[in-house]
Amino acid sequence: MLIDKNSSIPLYIQLYNSIKNMIDTDQLKEGEKLPSIRSLAKKLNVNNITVVNAYKLLEKEGYVFSIKGSGTYVKYGTYDETVYLEDNRDIQLMAEGVLPISKDSINFASVSPSPDLFPIEEFKQSLIEVLDRDKAKAFVYPEINGYEPFRRSISHFLSIHYNMDVDKDQVVIISGGQQGIDIISKILISHGDYIFVENPTYSAAIASFKSRGANIIGIPILEDGIDIDLLNEYVKKYKPKFLYMMTNYQSPTTYSYSEEKKKELIKLSEKHNFYIIEDDFLTDLNYDHQVKLPLKSIDDSDRVIYIKSFSKIFMPGLRIGFMTVPKNLFPSIIRAKHTSDISSSGFLQRSFDLYLRKGYWKKHMETIKKVYADKYSIMIKELEKLNKYNITFHEPKGGLSVWIKLPREIDAIDLYDECIKNNVAIVPGKIFFLDEETYYNYIRLSFGDVSNDEIIEGIRIIENNIKKKYTKNSNKYIPFI
């Protein structure tokens, strides 16, 4: 890393160019950790801020990523938003960063769709038509809560598809589901407040709640939804601000709520005056033709804040979604949204509005449901071959993942390590639990970004690694063949 202090080019730009060149020429490898800010500044005899600015620019340009408390790393060509596993196997770092996946890996870690399913042509037509129709207006700031015709389209979409009666003026456009969670955290959580979550649950939501100083109580989720009896007991004891939950194909368990439990949740929220944050991105992906509706569809008292991301099953990089907001919270939500990013992209909102109005979304969902239903069937069929190793799993009949319980003799982190060596990426389940040490033998396998052949080959590799560990730890239970 060379810099010239006599050059007119700012030092941080020189350092940025030097590191960028080392990455481009493979002198710095994917996943390699860069020197710490202090050590590099000392080595180059420059101010710390020079290194900070260079690293920030590299991160902005997509060359590196940072993990709080760990350092800065060269970015992988393919990566998932879920986890990053350091050599010290610090589970907290896994939840805060990204999981490195080599380009040749079979990727069971990502719940994002395969790029070859992205509806490029249809969306391109929407983009072009919006540019022709609106010209420069396409790039002006929309209202903070979102482009008004788009909010109207979403209101209609919710009525037609989910039996929801939500006025367009209660819809706020957001840049993906995570922004919705962050905004709600800002306005509803004061330091020391209690909030409830399903256990296990989405780790990034936990991180957001913790950042606001919340006391987080995990309540076990059963195959038909959260443990209602325990919830009822805890509500009286802790008086929570809200419950964060996923009604259909919950992440990571893939469980869906029964109608009875959905009704009980609404009753409890009314009786004890707490909100319910419903995070939804997979309701549409059902494979058994049984219509599943969000909790919001039976919310008559405006207690449910419904968050839906289109990104995950559309195009993840698009970062577009919405949330429905109770009228009494609307002013606070708008202020928080404005301080977050002023407003979400008006051009993308106009384009996606047209995409919805032309019926492209419905066509896209019909296409990918057929593809994913096939992948799901293959995944279940291959997993059934592992029953002889005392493995159990839930059949969700929808979503993009399968939640698997390993034999108690096998630690999911150890299995993760072995699979990575064989170019198969899985997610250890313990990162989703609040009491992670108790639940060491769960994994989540997702089939969003794998081919049918990769599913078969990937499960075969996982089986080989399980077989080695299972035989070593409990060989007396292995069938003699």
* pLDDT, tens digit (0-9, with 9 covering 90-100), for 171-208: 999 988 889 999 999 999 998 999 999 999 998 899 88
> 363-477 is classed in which CATH architecture?
Alpha-Beta Complex (3.90)
Binned at pLDDT 50, 70 and 90, residue 57 comes out as confident
Q: Which residue has the higher pLDDT, 393 or 439?
A: 393
What CATH number belongs to 141-358? 3.40.640.10
Q: Which pLDDT score, from 0 to 100, does residue 88 have?
A: 36
Q: How confident is the model at residue 13 (pLDDT cuts 50, 70, 90)?
A: confident
Q: Where are the domains of the chain?
A: 11-75, 141-358, 363-477
Given this model, what pLDDT does residue 76 score?
57
Q: pLDDT digits over 218-267, tens only? A: 999 999 999 999 999 999 999 999 999 999 999 999 999 999 999 999 99
The CATH code that applies to domain 11-75 is: 1.10.10.10
Please tell me which residue, 436 or 222, carries the higher pLDDT value: 222
| pLDDT band (50, 70, 90) for residue 29 | confident
pLDDT (tens digit per residue) in 273-290: 999 999 998 998 999 888
Looking at residue 152, its pLDDT comes to: 96
The structure tokens listed for 370 are 């057929």
Q: What percent of the chain has pLDDT over 70?
A: 91
Which pLDDT score, from 0 to 100, does residue 101 have? 61
